[in-house]
Structure 1
């Protein structure tokens, strides 16, 4: 039995284009399946989080990250009696709009797009699922339900003005109530993202040698996990010790969200999913003490991983890739694939062309962006530097 705050697949606000629903899948299961089978989802395999793809096979990609987020989100949603299928759909789609080279690529593209409204990966994810995926005969995009679309657009909270252009364009067709919070299911997806990337960035940073176990064993929450492992398994080898400690941290974050959110949902007394949106504050959250500990872990990762000298060196190189490709495609749009040429012809001036170029670059994988840069400029930045 679902909680009263859960989204009911039998009472959805529908899709932009009416369709006959599946006889054996709920509308949210169908959304999830369309996301998984999309081209943008497959490309996440070769888009990285922090490291560039060539740096190692063991580091997380956007695809493995999205799968981990979905697993955490289903667990939390199930414990809270929310709709696990909607939660999973939002979790799987939350990173579809990311550029190659992680946040470095997004920062570069956002600066380049400032004259034409900037670039935002959440807005780009919505643009992908409502327009850029073009596989179906009767519509562009995936024609997802309103509930899944609002989760993609505002899982991190209300979206305030100035709205990213992609959100403005779609919101005029299909009001997503961007000024409100999203459903409880989308809020679960957002916090599951926090849990997943904090956990796997610790793993990946250790594997890359950017920091040591002794360093993270002094961090809040992690110190208690290592102490418990050492007391339970004295003399455990280093690799198993690390895994046992970090999985306890992972579990503690999940348990805290479940306990805190269950209490907040009861206190809010929301009668239905819409009441959650209109509440004016999130119902899914960490407790204050655990959130403070997570901020401490984030600060450590920012200093020792995201701004590590080796990572910053690669950031500089891949920023140049994006900075070179954008003006090149703006001056030579014929270099875009032939199937894009009809859109180029219909583009309204520089603004329309810039948005198409941003769409194309944002859709690239790390590997493809590097290959295109080498092909078009003759430079192999990873081999020769600049």
Structure 2
């Protein structure tokens, strides 16, 4: 792979207007950022769970604040990469004019990386899959292809993000968000079909990155940017190199920020957080600086900032040093897994503590259980209603689905996707409210 091809500024759905003028294209990736940040799916992230329940008397991160922070870190990673490349090759702007836009591309992809996640965090994904594997949705297996069934029983937010950004929803135009090819490809952590997305030996096939409905679209991106194809059936590609920076930004943020939130919610003590973050600060004066401060939250804020800075430096170094392997598609681990000791061991310890004390905390588990009930309950109502539409009750339910999601296709897979588009796009609050209303638990206000 080579950077001149990888940094394609061609726009999805607007390919005919592409001039190839490099100078005109310098602002295209900033436009991607703006289009995402002003979009409705992005705004809805403010009411989608990151880890902890929303909202409470103590502010914790939601999907929106998380995405903004990931974008900030991602921009730094991309900018550092460009600055380092320019130091090593002073004429880089002439040979690869768009490399200077790397920070904007990575920041845009980071903003969009969670757009496909349904309500209730990862439990929302599991709830959707559960409906088809062991719930009422199992009856539809014989009505879709084997590849389409894999999409449904392993519903994946990564693939759903690509669908949101590229699918021509009714009344929304033909190009989706009309983002650049480079930004779209930088979101695809797992550039393979669902039938290939279970091979844990390869970083690019741990999950999957596109539904069957978007497979030809992704292949168009891959061909344009000359991504490395692994196989045709099921379709598998190697990652776009900038995926590693997007993934690193996400890894840095959720690992560190979850500790900060856990302290605010009194799940972890100040001492527990300090023991984890202090080694990451990489600052001999940090203990002395902490002694000068009285407020524990302020201390953690300082350590969080220093820790993120250290990890940005570490991941940037790995990305630069392993550039040849990355471009060849042979780098088979995340940047975070390749950082130096003792930082790597500290991150492993943070992961261990997070699983034990944060992700299994009672309120977090309660949200996961609620997600199963709510998401499963909505699918039980809306999928049969849209597929069969045989009763007055069905017709009333279908009227609740916004017209932008409705499809003209008559096949079962497309109709199921219509309901999944609707339900997966809901915020936690809206999903709960709609579930309660259609189940008769509460009634809509007449005011």
Report the TM range for the smaller structure's normalisation: 0.7 to 0.9
Cross-structure match for 1:273: none
* Cα RMSD, aligned residues only: 3.1
**What is the Cα deviation at residue 75 of structure 1?**
0.7
Equivalent position SS for 1:183: coil
CA shift, 1:356, in A, is 1.7
Distance 2:275 2:209 in 1: 44
**Cα pair distance change 1:250/1:90, threshold 3 Å:** same
User: Which of 145, 151, 166 is the equivalent residue of 1:130?
Assistant: 166
What secondary structure does 2:250 align onto?
A: helix
Aligned CA distance change for structure 1 residues 132 and 105 (closer, same or farther; 3 Å): farther
Q: Could you say what secondary structure the match of 1:80 adopts?
A: helix
Q: Is the 8 A contact 1:15 1:144 kept in 2?
A: yes
> Is the alpha carbon distance of 1:342 and 1:145 closer, same or farther for their aligned partners in structure 2, counting shifts above 3 Å?
closer
In the alignment, is residue 66 of structure 1 matched against residue 128 of structure 2?
no
Residues 132 and 245 of structure 1, relative CA distance in 2, 3 Å threshold = same
Equivalent runs, 1:197-236 vs 2, <5 Å: 197-219=254-276, 222=279, 228-236=285-293
Q: Which residue of structure 2 lines up, in the alignment, with residue 86 of structure 1? A: 105
Cα–Cα, structure 1 residues 361 and 253, in superposed 2: closer, same or farther, change >3 Å?
Answer: same
Cα 1:165–1:241, aligned 2, differ >3 Å: closer, same or farther? closer
Q: Is the 8 A contact 2:194 2:210 kept in 1?
A: no
How far apart are residue 369 of structure 1 and its match?
A: 0.5
User: Unpaired runs of 5+ in structure 2?
Assistant: 83-98, 134-140, 142-148, 198-207, 230-235, 387-394, 443-447
Identify if the C-alpha distance between structure 1 residues 135 and 255 changes in structure 2 by more than 3 Å, giving closer, same or farther: farther
1:254 matched to 2:254: no
Residue pairs, 1:233-312, within 5 angstroms: 233-237=290-294, 238-265=296-323, 268=324, 276-281=326-331, 285-286=335-336, 287-289=339-341, 290-312=343-365
Question: Relative to 1, partners in 2 of residues 1:234 and 1:52: Cα closer, same or farther, differing over 3 Å?
Answer: closer
Equivalent residue in structure 1 for 2:424, among 324, 343, 362: 362
CA change 1:61–1:233 in 2 (3 A) is: closer
Cα pair distance change 1:227/1:159, threshold 3 Å = farther
TM-score, normalised by the number of residues in structure 2: 0.73
Aligned to 1:146: 181
| Contact 1:79/1:258 (8 A) holds in 2 | yes
Distance 2:405 2:310 in 1: 52
Partners of 2:45 and 2:427 within 8 A in 1: yes
1:167 to 202, 207, 211: 211
Distance in structure 2 (CA, Å) of the matches to 1:13 and 1:90? 15
- Corresponding residue for 2:391? none
C-alpha separation in 2, matches of 1:304 and 1:365: 26
Aligned to 1:103, what secondary structure does the other structure show? helix
SS in 1 for 2:179: coil
2:389 is matched with which residue? none
**Kindly tell me: are residues 342 and 30 of structure 1, through their superposed partners in 2, closer, same or farther at Cα, counting changes over 3 Å?**
closer
Distance 2:361 2:304 in 1: 21
1:195 correspondence with 2:236: no
Q: 1:45 to 1:135 in 2, by over 3 A?
A: farther
Tell me the alpha carbon deviations over residues 275-304 of structure 1, each in whole angstroms, 9 at most, x when there is no partner: x44332169723152333212211111110
Which position in structure 2 is the counterpart of 1:120? 156
Q: Is the 8 A contact 1:49 1:60 kept in 2?
A: yes
Q: Is the 8 A contact 2:280 2:306 kept in 1?
A: no
* Residues 1:184 and 2:237 aligned together: no
